[in-house]
Chains A and B, each alone.
Chain A
């Protein structure tokens, strides 16, 4: 039996005639940190969103922790408990305070009692360094704090896999560091992570593997040293050159 935690086989997705994902194969082992890089519009977000079926592939198979998400009979709500997701725009629940944001799914999805759910939520907030903001509303927090709450909210469910879609792209530069620090600690703790990012420093330092996408295809993948240091493919070289010039 295959040991990969995530297995994408021949995944394709078309949006209004445009082939956004073109026959993607990707496996992620338990404990592995995979960073996905590539130009805007190359399909990185779509790929990530197929992994928890926020997008449904047109064809191909997506298997996470042994559950085939592309099976129409699969219990997608149960499968998603295993998969935490962190969005570029944070997407904290605007009408609930920080503690409730983290405790909501514990109560409604896992059925924990309020006290138990809030204890777990507090633990996670402590872990991202925001225990003192438990009663604040999202609008009262900085972007960096909101994103750390979003990470705590996802972690509270104790997922087997964490997905990050450009978690620092909406942040002021001085707030990026705090979020990356939390993610680095998460990686050090052995969490399986797929991270779409433009932070090449983070990818070089934390990733076990870097995947370069262009035009809906995986063009090149390998260790950070290989892909970022000695890219074999012309398109990867172009992209990295552009990023390093602008960044």
Chain B
């Protein structure tokens, strides 16, 4: 930022005064922007289009909670499948058998590089491509599979890193007591690895919750609407964006607490490492 009389100012003031002055300028700029917006915007129209009180109540009363619940079910199922498949992929990546490593790497790179939308489209087309094939628990099966496929590719790398972060001495201690490799994995390595992985895995859960908005691809009846599809349908009906805003808030109800918990855990882990 250019200061017209910079030299005079710089020579005349202490660093502290200059910092204070810089902050004051930023506040003034902010106030100007807010003032201009407040003055120029058509607030009644904005309020009516985005935050119509009657429509908020109407949305909440007609299926919001059902949609919120569906979003939870879609993402939770996808997360569980992704976690299981991701663990398997991580173990394959760490396997002594080279083809397992190649297969897992191929899968992970493939599905991490692909838009989730394409996975959803492909899975919803499967029954067309294979005559007579029906995904179980329709529509949940298709959604869970799609989210699980996408999620597992991301989670596998997180889980692999977590497993590698478990100190060698822990594993040697277990083996020296006579635990088999499988017992060591189950009793020692995975529990410790998952402890390290809770923050990054929670972040992946948040990603999956947002990705679950892609279920509209699958073609749903109203009872199976998720938050996005529900909000969009209501917004179309009323030619008003308010229901979509409400649906967006529905996501935040789920994701904000998760984000806060993750921050807390990361802060605690950081302070624990310092101690």
Contacts and interface: CB of A to CB of B under 8 A. Distances in A.
Nearest to A100: B187
A83 B176 CA distance: 7
Nearest to B191: A95
Most chain B C-beta atoms within 10 Å of own C-beta, residue among A92, A109, A153? A109
Given A94-B192, A95-B192, A80 B174 contact: no
Interface residues of A, number: 24
B169 A85 contact: no
B123 to A, nearest CB: 37
A89 B167 CA distance: 11
Interface in B151-204: 167, 169-170, 172-180, 183, 187-188, 191-192, 195
A92 B177 contact: no
Most chain A C-beta atoms within 10 Å of own C-beta, residue among B172, B174, B177? B177
Given A95-B192, A109-B183, A80 B172 contact: no
A80 B195 contact: no
Nearest to A163: B176
Contacts of A243: none
Nearest to A106: B177
A54 B192 CA distance: 21
B178 A93 contact: no
Majority secondary structure, B binding face: helix
A157 interface: yes
B169 A104 contact: no
A3 interface: no
Interface of A: 52, 54, 77-78, 80-81, 83-85, 87, 89, 91-95, 104-105, 108-109, 150, 153-154, 157
B169 A91 contact: yes
A52 B172 CA distance: 11
A81 B176 CA distance: 8
A67 to B, nearest CB: 13
B188 to A, nearest CB: 6
Contacts, number: 59
Contact of A54 (B175, B178, B183): B175
Most chain B C-beta atoms within 10 Å of own C-beta, residue among A78, A80, A150? A80
Contact of B177 (A78, A80, A89): A80
Contacts of A94: 170, 192
29 contacts: A54-B172, A77-B175, A77-B179, A77-B180, A78-B178, A80-B176, A80-B177, A80-B178, A81-B177, A81-B178, A84-B176, A85-B173, A87-B172, A87-B173, A91-B169, A92-B173, A93-B170, A94-B170, A94-B192, A95-B195, A104-B177, A105-B174, A105-B177, A109-B183, A150-B173, A153-B177, A154-B176, A154-B177, A157-B177
Interface of B: 167, 169-170, 172-180, 183, 187-188, 191-192, 195
Contacts of B175: 54, 77, 80
A83 B192 CA distance: 25
Contacts of A93: 170, 173-174, 188
Contact of B179 (A89, A105, A154): A105
A220 to B, nearest CB: 29
Given A94-B192, A108-B187, A109-B183, A89 B169 contact: yes
Nearest to A110: B178
A153 B180 CA distance: 17
Given A94-B170, A105-B177, A154-B176, 18 more contacts: A52-B176, A54-B175, A77-B179, A77-B180, A78-B178, A80-B175, A80-B176, A81-B177, A84-B176, A87-B169, A91-B167, A93-B173, A95-B191, A105-B174, A108-B179, A108-B183, A109-B179, A157-B178
Contacts of A108: 179, 183, 187
Most chain A C-beta atoms within 10 Å of own C-beta, residue among B169, B173, B175, B195? B173
A157 B176 CA distance: 11
B185 to A, nearest CB: 12
Contact of B172 (A81, A84, A91, A153): A91
A52 B173 CA distance: 11
Contacts of A83: 176
B130 to A, nearest CB: 44
A189 B174 CA distance: 26
Most chain B C-beta atoms within 10 Å of own C-beta, residue among A85, A108, A150, A153? A108
A91 B192 contact: no
A153 B183 CA distance: 17
